[in-house]
Structure 1
Amino acid sequence: MQFFSSNFKLGILGGGQLGKMLLYETRKWDIYTKVMDASAEAPCKIACNHFVQGSLLDFDDVYTFGKDVDVLTIEIENVNVDALEKLESEGVKVYPPTNALRVIQNKATQKLFYTDNNIPTAPFTRFAYTSEIEDSISNGGLQFPFVWKSAQFGYDGQGVKVVRSLEDLNDLPNVECIAEKMVDFKSELAVVVARNAKGEIKTYPVVEMEFHPEANQVEYVICPARIKASVAKKAVEVALKVSSQIEHVGLLAVELFQTKDDKILVNEVAPRPHNSGHYSIEASYTNQFEQHIRAILGLPLGKTDSKVAGVMVNLVGAEGHTGDVVYENIDSILEMDGVTPHIYGKKQTRPFRKMGHVTIVDEDMAKARKVAQQVKETIKVISK
């Protein structure tokens, strides 16, 4: 099949920043793209060939959207899988496949998958409703502290809370959830695995993630991770096992805990380009977005090595600011060597909303991390 400058149509469900960055690559290769998102102001709107406004969770919207594309992919997991399954049965190539997406879409199902396949993960308990947790605590089945996670619709720190007392349960939604044992970890790592439709697999270097203590969002992604080679090897092995068992096509970002005694546990996965791979746009031979396109089209996978050390800084809305966005001091960071900002195109900011990211590259990792700190302290995402 001809993909370039042809009648081929690639469909993307979700029009946010990940879709926008995928479109950098499709425009580079002149691949026709059709995108659907619920928002009329989605960042993807300006860069795709055909934009459709519709609900990603509505069966009819998703099914109708996907009927006239050749390959359909996602930039967010919260989509109507029943519609994707019907499209698959009618010959549309859907990547990641619906059987993989059904597992990943629900955190409880995802955790059970790890248990069933002997993939190391933190102990957990599954609940149909949050209201059941208090009884479990009373009966000695669950002990403080633990991490509460909504089974569905959680993202960017939403749907996750550390529970240290009964009072912490009060404001949580009464939904299907898991209670996960707190892991005494040394660091949080991630491995992005690429797998194309022919089964070819490549991994990106292990990255290290530093999180905001309150928002539970990634503040920095550091590549390569500052860990021993033996730990990196274990992390890659675990990520490859997840990839093999789940049989995804495209990218799979595997988030991991490195425990105090250097065991590797799977936290969760995402079957798409991921925040932990944004550094690759400037630092890698093949960035994660090009790699995802290569994988879902069955093209040879690109080189995943880094050219230089890379650190990514997330740009999120400042606390106390809601409204029309202003990027303060962006000119100051542009004066720094090796600094590249990416602005996602969201016109409205609010506290902790992801508005962009900045990549810092340097041959010296220590220097890159130092500049990243300067960037974080300099640029401010505020409202008018």
Structure 2
Amino acid sequence: MAKDFYGDLRLGILGGGQLGRMLIQEAINFNVNIHVLDPDPNAPCKRLCNQFEVGSLGDYDTVYNFGKDLDMITIEIEKVNVDALEALESEGVIVYPQARVIRLIQDKGLQKQFFKQNDIPTSAFQFISNKDGLAQSNISLPFIQKLRKDGYDGKGVKKINTAVDFDTAFEEPSIVEELVDFEKEIAVIVARNDRGDMSTFPMVEMEFNPQANLVEFLISPSTYAEAIQAKAEQIAKKIANDLQIVGILAVEMFLTKDGDILVNELAPRPHNSGHQTIEGNYVSQFGQHLRAIFNLPLANTASRGNAIMINLLGEEGYEGLAEYEGLEEALAIDGVYIHLYGKKYTKPFRKMGHVTIVHEDRNTAIENARKVQNLIKVIA
């Protein structure tokens, strides 16, 4: 692989958002030639890559033509044309994660079936073809309805409390899931290269914004018992191995009040639950993803110390050219690292950046993060 790090390797990224941007920032160290496809002419990746192309990620011809002269393709979003990726794979272009993995994870119903077939613990579920099926569900109310396709960042998920909510439910094919009485939402990111080497990042704890259903506050490493952390990491490794995925995989899970772990969803790419690894771990999730897809030795994922990550979301009531309040005050706090995503326009709950706060004392790190959360506002 050595020659590939002198500009010979042409790596395509499907998606030009913040995940692609942070992946490029890491890939620059490998001196890789980066090509990006995104529908937004002002995508965050635009000025950082060697070649930027505007086009639909869902269009067969666009994705095929983008990839046909590249050596390797990876993704920063799952909603891509998998048929085109399969055609490219058949012609010798390396696609990591593999097209078959992306196809499975695009459909939350196929994800659930995969969990069931491979004895991976998950909540009880059933499929419905439209909202009329809600009334026939054998899952007790209240329950969760999730669109099988196109749900992301908290969209495509509804809590159905009573039969009155059936009228406003999703019409499209969905899964009905048992409502989990969880104590904490947790996540483990696992990496796997083509040799089958695997490595997990330490388990993290997450808090979600109740309105947007987005991760708002993340604590790393977890202070749960070693047995719980080891079990979560073991589940993540089993999933990666069962999938035979190459790249990184974020495994979102529920820790129940009874101490059980249930898998919620998968993301076969860099993920919001791993942003703190840039400053908080010996390798970032982005560096580890590149090592995995380049079939290099995986790096040490251990935490350097306590790291808290907060998302910078567009404030409610503001839409337009983004302005950032409180950055200077936040940067005056020790151990604060700001990452702005280069998005020109803000709107309510849009992910505009994140901040990582590190400190040798866990409580101080959390306290400083709460201060930063109150200081920085994204307005227009």
TM-score after normalising by structure 1: 0.97
Secondary structure of the residue aligned to 2:234 is: helix
Secondary structure at the counterpart of residue 24 of structure 1: helix
Structure 1 residue 214 displacement after superposition: 2.2
Q: Is the 8 A contact 2:139 2:177 kept in 1?
A: no
Shift of 1:55: 0.6
CA distance in 1, matches of 2:30, 2:86: 28
For the pair 1:379 / 2:380, whether they are aligned, the reply is no
1:46 is paired with a residue whose SS is coil
Shift of residue 185, structure 1, vs aligned partner: 0.8
- Which residue of 2 is the match for residue 127 of structure 1? 128
Q: Give the drift of 1:357.
A: 0.4
The one-character-per-residue Cα deviations of 1:274-294 (angstroms, maximum 9, x if unpaired) are 000000001111111011111
Cα shift at 1:168: 2.7
What corresponds to 2:103 in structure 1?
Answer: 102
**Residues 31-85 of structure 1, C-alpha deviations (whole Å, 9 max, x = no match):** 1000000110110001000001111111111111110110100000000111100
Which residue in 2 is equivalent to 1:279?
A: 276
Cα separation, 1, equivalents of 2:165 and 2:177? 15
Equivalent residue runs for 1:259-270 within 5 Å: 259-270=256-267
1:314 matched residue in structure 2:
311
Offset of 1:228 from its aligned partner? 1.0
What percentage of aligned pairs have identical amino acids? 50
**Deviation, structure 1 residue 151:** 0.9
Greater CA drift, 317-326 or 9-18:
317-326
Q: After TM superposition, give the deviation of residue 340 of structure 1 in Å.
A: 0.7
**What is the root-mean-square deviation in Å for CA atoms of aligned residues?**
1.1
Query: 2:235 aligns to what?
Result: 238
* Aligned equivalent of 1:56: 57
Partner of 2:168, secondary structure, is coil
* Aligned ranges 1:176-195 → 2 under 5 Å: 176-195=173-192
For residues 129 and 70 of structure 2, what CA distance do their matches in structure 1 show? 37
* 1:172 CA drift (Å): 3.6
Separation of aligned partners in 1, 2:359 and 2:6: 36
- Equivalent in the alignment of 1:326: 323
Q: Of 217, 232, 251, which aligns to 1:254?
A: 251
Q: 1:218 aligns with which of 215, 220, 224?
A: 215
Matched pairs, number: 379
1:38 aligns with 2:35: no
SS in 2 for 1:294: helix
1: CA distance, partners of 2:193 / 2:116:
26
**3-state SS of 1:293 partner:** helix
Structure 2 CA distance for aligned equivalents of residues 194 and 239 of structure 1: 9
- State the secondary structure of the residue aligned to 1:87: helix
State the secondary structure of the residue aligned to 2:241: helix
Gaps of 5+ in 1: none
Structure 1 letter corresponding to 2:197: E
Counterpart CA distance in 2 for 1:259 and 1:366 is 24
Q: For residues 185 and 243 of structure 1, what CA distance do their matches in structure 2 show?
A: 24
- Structure 2 contact 146–175 (Cα < 8 Å) conserved: yes
Aligned-partner SS, 2:45: helix
Cα separation, 1, equivalents of 2:51 and 2:375:
38
Alpha-carbon distance, 1:311 to partner: 0.5
Alignment of 1:79-228 (within 5 A): 79-134=80-135, 136-137=136-137, 141-228=138-225
Quote how far apart the aligned CAs of 1:131 are. 3.4
Looking at structure 2, the residues matched to 118 and 292 of structure 1 have their Cα atoms a distance apart, in angstroms, of 26
For 1:291-302, what aligned pairs fall within 5 Å after superposition? 291-302=288-299
Which of residues 302, 309, 313 in structure 2 aligns to 1:305? 302
1:178 partner letter: I
Question: Is residue 125–residue 139 contact of structure 2 (8 Å, CA) maintained in 1?
Answer: no
Residue 343 of structure 1 corresponds to which residue in structure 2?
A: 340
Letter in 2 for 1:49: N
Q: Aligned-pair distance for 1:29? A: 2.1
Alignment-mate amino acid for residue 316 of structure 2: E
Verify: 1:289 aligned to 2:286, yes or no.
yes
